[in-house]
Each structure stands twice: as C-alpha cells, then as structure tokens.
Structure 1
Amino acid sequence: MNDAIINIRDAKIYQGDNLILEDVNLSVNKGEFVYLVGKTGTGKSSLLKTLYGELPLKEGQATVAGFDLRQLTWKTVPFLRRTLGVVFQDFQLLTDRNVNENLKFVLKATGWKDEKLMNEKIADVLDKVGLKSKGFKMPFELSGGEQQRIDIARALLNSPKLILADEPTGNLDPETSDEIMQLLFHISRDYGTAVVMATHDYIVIRKFPARMVRTEKNRVLDNASIA
C-alpha cells in the first residue's frame, strides 16, 4: 500500500511563463512532518500553490491526496482542497464575524448543509486546538496565538490528509510559536495528517527537528541540513 500523500516526479513548476523549479521529485507520507525551507524567492510559495491547485502543473507528474495535479480543472480543484488544510501566516480570518461563523462559512463553502453536524464539527476542531470556549469571540478579541489556533482549526474542518502551513509562526513571539509547533506536531502524530510547513525560522526547526526540504537554485533538495 502506498502511503504517499504527495508524490511528485520530474516536475517543472511555473509562475506564468517563468520557470521557478525544475526536476522536482518529492514524496511525503501519511503523518509525516516536513519543513520546506529556502530563501525568499526560491520557490517555496510556488511549490505550495501548486500542491493546492492555485498554480497549474504543466510538466511532470504529481498526485496530492489521490488527485492527479495534471488533470485538475476548475471543477475538481474544490474537491482537492477539501482533502487539504491550508494555514496562513496572517491568519486570514473574516473580521466581521465571530469564530464559529468563520468556521461555518468554510463548511458551507465546502458543501456542508446540516446545521447540527456543522455545529458538532466546529466544537470538535475548537476542542482539538484548545479553544472550545472561544467560539463567540470576534477575531480582534483574540491574541495572535489564538488567531493562529483558529486558523489551524479551520484547516482541520474537513479532516484533511495534508496540512500546508505557510510561515505559520512568522508573526508570533517565541513562546506562542512553540505552542503552535506543538499543536502541529500533535496533529501530525495523533491524527496521521501529513504537514508541510514553509518556514524561515531555524530556531523553531532546531527545537522541533523533522525532515527538511530546501528550495535552492531552481531545485528542491531533500533531506537538507540546517547548515
């Protein structure tokens, strides 16, 4: 049985007509935690955007959570995204509604209709991130760390096989960063969710070591080191 959630072979990744990464070969298995590191402009975001269907894959082969990226259409991209969770650096919460309404908005957008089931799912993900009493808070009433936990809760709504986290500790102080990292490792370990986390934060990587993949000189280097 193949446990690969991400499997990329001989891929070239473009942003428009610009070749960003070439000869990309990468596998990530169920429950695996992988750091994606590299200088700004070396293709980390382009790789993540390809994985969740924002950038089309034009050359090579790649599957993500069973979806063939070469076969994606505007109709099938939403189905791919239901199997993924995406965590952003700047939280991207809707500021005009409370936490529960933020989470319900995502459930409705991904096809949920039953009010009772939606409420149960929201309670479940808030419990998983340790914020079950915060559902009626507005985003501005939450600390940065709490907003990032809500962002992670949102990523968990559709029980994803894969979480793509783009600089999730970038706007947080060190203590809060540690809490978010512990939460992400817990999700990876206890729910079997693969996590690919783009980061510049080598302090975090030293504290929470895991496999590291680096973007450099139009390539993706696997099992990279901090040095």
Structure 2
Amino acid sequence: MAEVIVSLQHANIYQGDNLILQDVNLSVHKGEFVYLVGKTGAGKSSLLKTLYGDLFLRQGDGMVAGFNLRDVSWKKVPYLRRNLGVVFQDFQLLTDRTVYDNLKFVLKATGWTNQQLMNEKIEDVLDKVGLRAKGFKMPFEMSGGEQQRVDIARALLNSPKLILADEPTGNLDPETSDEIMQLLFYIARDYGTAVIMATHDYRVIQKFPARTVKTERGKVLDNASVF
C-alpha cells in the first residue's frame, strides 16, 4: 500500500468563525493525482490553505506529509511547507531577477547554504520541467507556459511529497495547458509526488482523467460526478 501523504478525518474547516467545510474525510497517497473541483466560494481554496498551514485545523484530525495539522503552529508552518510545493495560477515569480535567481532565492529562504548544491538542484529542477537552458532568462522574456514551468520547478526544489496546484492552467491557452498537465502527471508518476490540483477547467479533466474530489454545499465529495 502506497504511503499516505494527506489524511483528513472528520475535519471541520473554518475561515474565521465561518464553517466552510464540514466532516471532511480525504486520503491521498504517494504518487496520486487528484483534481479538486467546485464552484467559486465552495471551499476549494480553504481546503488547500488548510493543507499548507495558512488555515489551522481546529476540529477533526489531519496529517500532511507527516505533519499533524492539529499541532502545527506558526513556528512549525515553514517546516511543513518545506515538504510541499505550491503552484499558483499567476506564477508569482520575482520579476526583477532571472529564473536562476528566483530559484536560488527560494533555496536560501528554506535554509540551503552550499553554493554547489544549490547550483546542482536548480539545474535538476529546470531539467525536469524542460527549461535547462533558460536559467538566465528574466520572467518577462518568457511565455506564460514557460513561466508556469518555472513555477513548477520552484515547487520541486525541496523534493516535496505533495504539490498543491491552484488553477495552474487558468491563464494558459489549451495547447500550453496540455503541456503543463503532461508535466504534472509525469511528476506524479515518475517521482512519486502526490498532486492535488484545484481547477475549473473541465476540458483538461476530460482529456487527462484522474480521481476527482468536489467541494459542494459545505461537503467534500470524493469521486464526485462533475459532468
């Protein structure tokens, strides 16, 4: 049986005093790809924020990448996030520095100090996303698809057990979206990284079918029928 990377049991997820999702039961295993769907405001972002420690779990049980979400404090959040990779819709790259320096910034911020090891790691993740020769480029010199690949490379820097991808194809054309989907599936399959991808893009779900979890009316429905 594959290692469990995400486990939520009878979890109630709050934003402030508002109960957003009730009695959430969810397990995601090593190397598994899971779509997270649901209408805007139905709780997708709240679920993702709980998984990466932006919202604390107050009721129920939760484990992510070996961390007990009930025990995570602000001091422990950075350690949790070193085991996660987060991919954003709008890339969130630093526009005043090269791709290489964007990645180096993250490594230094997460405790790396050896220059040679940092260089090797940056080359490794750029190679994985097909951008080995693009480290010298500035973000504005790159296409949207290339910037999203840099975002994914950044998410891979600390060899995460879990990638949380929030609408990663939302700003991309269909052909580029397909390339990003193939890359995310490849990372899950070949590196054993679990991927949870929030999306409204049902075209990619139909083209790249996988397990689908839906937020609806305060509940999380596993393998929901969404079509």
| TM-score bracket for this pair, using the shorter chain length | over 0.9
- 1:2 CA drift (Å): 6.3
Equivalent position of 1:179 in the other structure: 179
| Letter paired with 2:199 | T
TM-score (norm 1): 0.99
| Letter paired with 1:200 | H
Q: State the secondary structure of the residue aligned to 1:221.
A: strand
Structure 2 matches for 1:7-86, cutoff 5 A? 7-86=7-86
Pairs aligned (count):
227
Q: Distance in 2 between matches of 1:199 and 1:54?
A: 19
Alignment pair present for 1:205 and 2:205: yes
Equivalent position of 2:143 in the other structure: 143
Q: Distance in 1 between matches of 2:59 and 2:188?
A: 30
- 1:60 CA drift (Å): 0.4
- 1:226 CA drift (Å): 2.5
Superposition RMSD in Å: 0.7
Q: State the secondary structure of the residue aligned to 1:70.
A: coil
| Letter paired with 1:99 | V
Alignment pair present for 1:93 and 2:93: yes
- Residue by residue, what CA displacement relative to the aligned partner does 1:19-43 show, whole Å, maximum 9, x if unpaired? 1000100000000000000000000
Q: State the secondary structure of the residue aligned to 1:189.
A: helix
Q: Distance in 2 between matches of 1:111 and 1:207?
A: 39
| Letter paired with 1:98 | T
Equivalent position of 1:118 in the other structure: 118
- 1:74 CA drift (Å): 1.4
**Identity between Structure 1 and Structure 2 (%):** 78
- 5+ residue gaps, structure 1: none
- Residue by residue, what CA displacement relative to the aligned partner does 1:185-217 show, whole Å, maximum 9, x if unpaired? 000000000000000000000000000000000
Equivalent position of 1:133 in the other structure: 133
| Letter paired with 1:222 | D
Q: Distance in 2 between matches of 1:190 and 1:24?
A: 29
Alignment pair present for 1:220 and 2:209: no
| Letter paired with 2:45 | S
- 5+ residue gaps, structure 2: none
Q: Answer yes or no: is the 8 Å Cα contact 2:166–2:197 preserved in 1.
A: yes
Q: State the secondary structure of the residue aligned to 1:71.
A: coil
- 1:73 CA drift (Å): 1.1
Q: State the secondary structure of the residue aligned to 1:31.
A: coil
Q: Answer yes or no: is the 8 Å Cα contact 2:2–2:30 preserved in 1.
A: no
Equivalent position of 2:189 in the other structure: 189
